[in-house]
């Protein structure tokens, strides 16, 4: 009735979805530029005057919410700061999720009431027990989830890390029942659906990746992958993958514009000869290769999560690619790309949840120097380089820019790369999309390594109190 009598309308910009959830449609008014009496309008419906401020307030909060951005928190190091200091650091950043490789209680407790989503994991050595003994899975959940949830916002349990490409056949065969038993244990305590269950894969699960539309899983992994993907599909849990453009560049540095293509820098792009979609960076190409593999396997509804990706800022003298400039270029370019919400050519308009590798360096990891130089922060919480993760920087998001229309006359050569399963040939590849080893050495739980084994709810409360005081 008020709407008909006074004909109030707001013609600002489109209201965010959360606005409509908080305020019913009858609060939407139109205010013409020639109101007969401003005071009358305020007295009749004072909250109408506040609508532009409501819009700005909610838009600011949504801009500060970047649920797609996470970080890996490895512990294979002897110089890490206490978990409480790390929790404080994370609250000063745009990082919304943290992935642990184990289930360290000190870290899980430190992250309580921070609103940060937490991914915890079971070690590979626990897979056989989880698979064979449902009670072991129940004890694991009772020990590592129940005491902390929901104060600690545990969102996902990863059962093992890169098990399928570990060449340990026994672990592979037991992965699906292990995942199912963890799910059953969560269901038994009414956490099924609240805490998801999955596992993490290296890019070596793909036998073909270029062009991205030809993405395909290794035939030798089909049996276990069908079981896992059926589980992901039934439970709504993600397919977690570790794409690393750095390793693709390291293994094929001579390809024209390869570095620019990896680092989100200006380049001529690469056209998928099957789909005619143009790719401007390797991250999108790798993710879409996984999307194609999932789709061709019949699992179009299974979502992808990037569990790891990063670039080392230093390495040995004979390593190609590690540098402070390249690491900053990759991670800052990736963060800007995710914030743009452009998505990938096969998944436009959506940013895939992406966990950067890594929060800190892990100085106890073996291998070349680059393995110990993926960190974003020093142990004293200072930035190793500025990747654009501070809260002040997250509001300055990049406007979406769609990929240009493909120019097939300039399409580079895109010969499909088909690598044999690791069991039959040395793990060597020259694919510009999928490297020989598609990530750093799998990060272990620290104990396993050493011993061989919500800001938005508060904003809503504040806003509600603010409105009530004004009314």
Which residues belong to the active site?
162, 308
Cβ pair 49, 42 in contact under 8 A: yes
DSSP, collapsed to helix, strand or coil, labels residue 446 as helix
DSSP for 213-239 reads GG-EE-GGGHHHHHHHHHHHHHHT--E
End-to-end Cα spacing for the chain: 20
Nearest to 204 by CA among 419, 366, 426: 419
User: Hunting for tokens 């838009």 — which residue is that?
Assistant: 59
**95 Rama class: left (phi>0) / alpha (psi -120 to 50) / beta:** beta
Please state the φ and ψ torsions of residue 250, each to the nearest 5 degrees: -60, -40
Per-residue CA distances from 357 to 32, 67, 70, 203, 354 (Å): 52, 17, 9, 15, 10
Q: From CA 470, how far away is CA 319, in angstroms rounded?
A: 62
Contacts by 3-11 with C-beta closer than 8 Å and gap 24+?
Answer: 3/29, 6/41, 6/44, 6/45, 7/32, 8/41, 8/45, 8/48, 10/48, 10/51, 10/52
Q: From CA 443, how far away is CA 452, in angstroms rounded?
A: 13
């Amino acid at each position: 009735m008020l709407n008909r009598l006074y004909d109030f309308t707001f013609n600002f910009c489109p209201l965010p979805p959360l606005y409509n959830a908080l305020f019913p449609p009858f609060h939407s008014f139109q205010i013409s530029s020639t109101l007969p009496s401003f005071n009358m309008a305020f007295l009749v419906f004072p909250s109408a005057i506040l609508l532009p401020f409501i819009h700005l307030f909610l838009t600011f909060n949504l801009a500060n919410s970047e649920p797609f951005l996470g970080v890996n928190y490895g512990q294979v190091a002897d110089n890490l700061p206490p978990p409480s200091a790390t929790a404080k650091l994370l609250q000063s950043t745009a990082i919304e999720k943290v992935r642990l490789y184990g289930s360290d209680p000190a870290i899980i407790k430190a992250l309580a009431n921070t609103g940060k989503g937490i991914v915890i994991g079971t070690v590979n050595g626990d897979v056989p027990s989880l698979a064979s003994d449902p009670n072991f899975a129940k004890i694991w959940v009772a020990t590592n989830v129940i005491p902390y949830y929901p104060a600690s916002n545990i969102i996902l349990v990863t059962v093992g890390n890169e098990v399928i490409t570990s060449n340990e056949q026994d672990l592979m065969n037991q992965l699906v029942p292990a995942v199912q038993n963890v799910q059953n244990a969560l269901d038994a305590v009414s956490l099924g659906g609240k805490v998801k269950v999955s596992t993490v894969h290296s890019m070596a699960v793909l036998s073909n990746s270029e062009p991205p539309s030809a993405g395909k899983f290794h035939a030798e992994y089909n049996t276990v992958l069908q079981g896992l993907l059926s589980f992901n599909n039934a439970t709504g849990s993600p397919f977690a993958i570790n794409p690393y453009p750095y390793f693709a560049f390291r293994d094929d540095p001579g390809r024209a514009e390869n570095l620019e293509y990896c680092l989100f820098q200006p380049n001529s792009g690469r056209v998928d000869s099957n789909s005619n979609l143009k790719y401007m960076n390797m991250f999108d190409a790798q993710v879409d290769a996984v999307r194609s593999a999932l789709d061709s396997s019949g699992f179009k509804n299974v979502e992808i999560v990037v569990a790891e990706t990063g670039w080392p800022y230093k390495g040995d003298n004979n390593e190609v690619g590690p540098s402070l400039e390249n690491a900053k270029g990759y991670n800052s370019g990736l963060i800007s790309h995710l914030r743009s919400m452009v998505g990938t050519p096969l998944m436009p308009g959506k940013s895939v949840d992406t966990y950067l590798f890594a929060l800190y360096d892990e100085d106890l990891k073996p291998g070349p120097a680059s393995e110990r130089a993926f960190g974003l922060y020093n142990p004293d919480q200072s930035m190793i380089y500025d990747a654009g993760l501070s809260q002040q920087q997250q509001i300055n998001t990049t406007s979406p820019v769609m990929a240009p229309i493909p120019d097939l006359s300039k399409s580079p050569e895109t010969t499909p790369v088909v690598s044999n399963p690791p069991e039959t040939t040395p793990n060597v590849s020259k694919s510009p999309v999928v490297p020989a080893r598609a990530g750093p050495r799998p990060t272990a739980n620290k104990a396993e390594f050493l011993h061989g084994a919500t800001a938005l709810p508060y904003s809503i409360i504040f806003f509600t109190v603010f409105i009530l005081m004004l009314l």
